[in-house]
Amino acid sequence: MMWVLLLNGLAYLGYGIFSGHFVRKLLSFGAMAAYRNVRLEMKHLLLHGTGEYNIVQRILYVVAVADLVALFFTGLTLWKPVQFQGLTNFLGGYDQARHIHFMGMSVLAAFIVVHVGVALAVKGTIKSMVTGRLAAQQVERRERR
């Protein structure tokens, strides 16, 4: 199962890097705009449409991708510490790798809870996820821009 996750992750990273998706959709934001959006999000005042990434989402997706990469490498260290002893030493030893892996899993679990919570909170998100199509109102709004 781990290797299926690895292949899927490599395909996603390859697509994101070579198509420019990461730069266009995730990494294009300024520090002040990010700060303002985080403050608005904390007050539940930040608006966004389905299929559009606001700055808070962009930051969280970058953290999630980096977390999955870290989880893969710490997982390798925990799975075969002798065969990957260079990686084990780089991570500070087996015990330190366990701690990093635990923290990474905690971050991933928190990301999933927040992600599902926001998907349930934003009207029309679940319907578009199930059907694969945006609601008619959202399509009209996009076309007017």
pLDDT tens over the chain, length 145 residues: 778 888 998 998 899 889 988 887 777 666 777 777 777 766 766 666 555 666 777 788 889 989 999 999 999 999 999 999 999 999 999 999 999 999 999 999 999 998 888 777 777 777 777 777 765 555 555 555 5
Query: Cβ of 37: how many Cβ atoms within 10 Å?
Result: 20
Q: How far apart are CA 20 and CA 64, in angstroms?
A: 18
Residues 6+ apart with CB under 8 A from 94: 77, 78, 81, 88
pTM: 0.72
Q: Which DSSP string do the residues of 81-128 spell out, in sequence order?
A: TTTTHHHHHHTTSHHHHHHHHHHHHHHHHHHHHHHHHHHHHSTTHHHH
CATH for the 2-144 domain, from 3.20.20.60, 3.90.400.10, 1.20.950.20, 3.40.50.300: 1.20.950.20
